Amino acid sequence: MAIGRRRKKRLTDRWLWAVVALLIMWGGYQAWRVHRQIAGQVRHQQEHQRRSIDSLPVGGDRVSASKMDISRNKPFVRHPHTAAGSIPLTPSEMDRVHQFFRRGIALADAHQLIAARTALERAWHMTAGYRTSEFNSISRWLAKINTHTLLSGVAYPGDHWVRLIQVVPGARLASIAHLYRITIQMLLDLNPMIQPRDMQAGSWLLVILGPFNANIELTHRRVDILLHHQFVLNYRFKYTGVITPAPGEYAVARTSYTALAAGAAELMSLTLAGEINGTRETVKISNIASPDVDMVMPTKALAELIKMLSRRFSVVTIRS
């Protein structure tokens, strides 16, 4: 009798282990499917971006992407003329900037926002680093278009930075945000109707192919938000002390939010960390000035910055 029970228990244990093994294999297969989907989407976006840049007509001809200093592997690469002691843009280059700019405005007026964004991005890359009146105007137009397209919570046809995906079984909001290199808060803002606990397999989510990065220009006291190498938005900041942050590449170390007493402003901060010239450097950005804060930004702008920058994937470049 006892021997029979032991045999039955061993058989049950084997079945349980077999079920666990099958569940593990099924979970790995689902993760592989999601990874393959993202890799395919990124390749498709890069190929489409290359074709659209190579064939965009300007002034009756076609401009080769090799004539532009646009990196597809780095978050942002300055135009060759922006190096220290370099020459300004030539008249022919400025003429091309104006052509792209006028084309972008015309397309925006015709409600062709994605095509308008592509043209304005070309003009932005050509003038990046100069901080001319043209550059400022281009940035303002791009910020308006990105607010109504990229950050609007709507997938526009032809927008290869935005995807509408179907949730696979077992997926969670944190894992989806990780796979697409964006923050959970960004994912929630794009999908305000989604409740994390109620998310079910088969439901649809709007995602952005991240990560977002940032360039901080100390001279101009300006923060540019980039999606890979494309301009999204910009913000202003001010210094609180005499010592300015060390130029270099930083990562997001931590963020904090403290709700103060009723009637008082909330306290927000973003801390950056980087290994600059062999020294560990930290930079603290806050919405309230204090002795230990390097830069101060408006509350709304800092909230947007924290929402976009991923602690794992985003790169913040500080330039003097």
What domains sit in the chain, N to C, each tagged with a CATH number? Answer: 55-148 (no CATH), 162-208 (3.10.350.10), 212-319 (2.40.440.10)
What is the predicted pLDDT for the residue at 262? 57
Give the mean pLDDT of 210-228. Answer: 93
Please give the residue that has the higher pLDDT: either 105 or 34.
Answer: 105
Of the pLDDT bands very low, low, confident and very high (cuts 50, 70, 90), residue 113 is very high
Quick one: which of 249, 155, 247 has its CA closest to 209?
155
81 pLDDT above the threshold of 80: no
What is the predicted pLDDT for the residue at 224? 94
Task: Give the least confident one: 16-20, 129-133, 235-239, 240-244.
Answer: 129-133
For residues 15 and 21, give the distance between their C-alpha atoms in angstroms, rounded to a whole number: 10
Specify the DSSP class assigned to residue 168: P
3-class secondary-structure state, position 274 = strand
Q: Would strands 248-258 and 267-276 be described as parallel, antiparallel, or unpaired?
A: antiparallel
Give the mean pLDDT of 188-202. Answer: 82
Task: Give the least confident one: 129-133, 136-140, 183-187, 236-240.
Answer: 129-133
What is the predicted pLDDT for the residue at 110? 92
Tokens representing residue 121 in the block: 């991005």
Quick: pLDDT tens for 259-276.
655 555 678 999 999 999
CA dihedral 178, 184, 190, 193 (to 10 degrees): 120
Task: Give the residue ranges of DSSP H helices in 81-172.
Answer: 91-109, 113-127, 133-148
Instruction: Return the amino acid letter for 222.
Output: R
Average pLDDT, the chain: 79
What is the predicted pLDDT for the residue at 64? 29
Task: Give the residue ranges of DSSP H helices in the chain.
Answer: 2-54, 91-109, 113-127, 133-148, 173-179, 184-190, 299-308
Q: Are 293 and 191 in contact (CB under 8 A)?
A: no
**Vertex 62: Cα angle to 87 and 66 (nearest 5):** 50
Please give the residue that has the higher pLDDT: either 34 or 99.
Answer: 99
Q: Are 100 and 116 in contact (CB under 8 A)?
A: no
**225: β partners:** 214, 233
In Å, how far from its chain's centre is CA 45? 15
**316: β partners:** 214, 250
The sign of the dihedral angle between the CA atoms of 30, 35, 36, 40 is positive
Cis peptide, bond prior to residue 192, ω within 30 of zero:
no
99 pLDDT above the threshold of 60: yes
Q: Are 180 and 283 in contact (CB under 8 A)?
A: no
What is the predicted pLDDT for the residue at 78? 38
Tokens representing residue 72 in the block: 């597809």
Quick: pLDDT tens for 145-156.
999 999 988 889
What is the predicted pLDDT for the residue at 40? 55
CA distances from 145 to 12, 98, 121, 259, 301 (A): 61, 18, 11, 32, 17
Give the mean pLDDT of 6-16. Answer: 75
1 pLDDT above the threshold of 70: no
Helix axes 133-148, 91-109, angle to 10 degrees: 30
Please give the residue that has the higher pLDDT: either 204 or 50.
Answer: 204
Of the pLDDT bands very low, low, confident and very high (cuts 50, 70, 90), residue 121 is very high
Of the pLDDT bands very low, low, confident and very high (cuts 50, 70, 90), residue 49 is very low
